[in-house]
Amino acid sequence: MTDIKYDYLIVGAGLFGAVFAYEAGKAGKKCLVVDKRSHTGGNVYCENIDGINVHKYGAHIFHTSNKDIWDYVNQFAVFNRYTNSPLANYKGELYNLPFNMNTFYQLWKVATPEAAQMKIREQVEKLNIKEPKNLEEQALSLVGPDIYNKLIKDYTEKQWGRPATELPAFIIKRLPLRFTYDNNYFDDKYQGIPEGGYNVIIDKMLANADICLNVDFFAEREALSERAHKIVYTGMIDQYFNYCYGKLEYRSLHFEHEQRNIPNYQGNAVVNYTDKETPYTRIIEHKHFEFGTQPVTVVTKEYPADWSEGKEPYYPINDDRNSNLYKQYKELAEKEMNVIFGGRLAEYKYYDMHHIIAHALKKVRLELDNSK
């Protein structure tokens, strides 16, 4: 590293940091981007294995109904026509997701929307749940026991690591039921995967920034902070403040990547395993994201895990305790005059990719306007 004084030190080379660096660079600002990992891109990073772009931190499918955001990402890459149509495997039985007429036919052999609606209504009314007290009751009151027991209960309990009766009802505010034969998981107008993987986008966004990888910000905090006028921080907010109020909680993930010497393992990019006996929640076959025809394939088993320090934090646990704890950290963050906090870890909020980009654009544009 040199002694250059930067306008911004960006901690984290994920989507938020990359968008900020790109926009700041266009405005003539100098950015230094540091990341503790050995690569840029954060959780959207792809590793090329046998010509297949492997989503190293789980499936990332870009989708949005915001044309401005869609146009924005398309300046960096060509997006293919991939449509997310996952399958659910319950003890060897296959069901289409999201819940739609194909699912209802597979469950009950009903062929019309009216028959499917009647089946669900009959099951829900028998339960007579007026005020759901937990996630289980909430889900049952929306879809009835058949869908819940085969496609929701065990999968959800694996994800969260606790019984559905101990999870708050608000986690499932609604369960989309589609009474059409449409397996498209997302309702958004625009959807696809960047050809060549997400690295294509990140590399272009960071092209004009200086990048230092394998750098632990907290190990070199003082020296790094002195090198820039302002800090853009995308890491865990409680860690930034040395956990002074206590640690926020997360769920983590563990991935097992396997190379297979066959051209096609499961015939679909994403298959969820919704029974409790299977320890992982899904298998991802990466070549199907880009319609690959390679003679080999790479599959990833995704295991939910408890989070502890040193593991990657993926999903914030937004219950009352953690929400109140985050509010305390947010108040501290608002007093930091030369630090911009952004992203899912710094804001303790789960964001989809299009939301992260929109949020980063809003913050960087406000910052650049204020710095004129």
223 CB burial (10 A radius; 0-12, 13-18, 19+):
exposed
Determine which one of 238, 302, 347, 367 is catalytic.
302
How would you classify the pairing of strands 282-285 and 270-273?
Answer: antiparallel
Note if 57 is an active site residue: no
Note if 174 is an active site residue: yes
Note if 81 is an active site residue: no
Pick from 91, 77, 309, 102: which is nearest to 204 by CA?
A: 77
Note if 365 is an active site residue: no
Determine which one of 178, 250, 273, 290 is catalytic.
178
CA atoms within 13 A on the CB side of 104: 23
Determine which one of 195, 251, 312, 319 is catalytic.
251
Determine how many CB atoms are found less than 10 A away from the CB of residue 306: 10
Determine which one of 35, 137, 282, 290 is catalytic.
282
Determine which one of 3, 174, 277, 320 is catalytic.
174
Determine which one of 256, 331, 350, 365 is catalytic.
350
Note if 178 is an active site residue: yes
Q: What angle do CA 365, 317, 10 make, to 5 degrees?
A: 30
Please answer whether residues 279 and 256 qualify as being in contact, where contact means their C-beta atoms are separated by less than 8 angstroms: no
Q: Label residues 172-211 b or e (16+ Cβ within 10 Å = b).
A: beebebbbeeebebbebebbbbbebbbbbbbeebbeebbb
Positions marked catalytic: 174, 178, 251, 282, 302, 350, 352
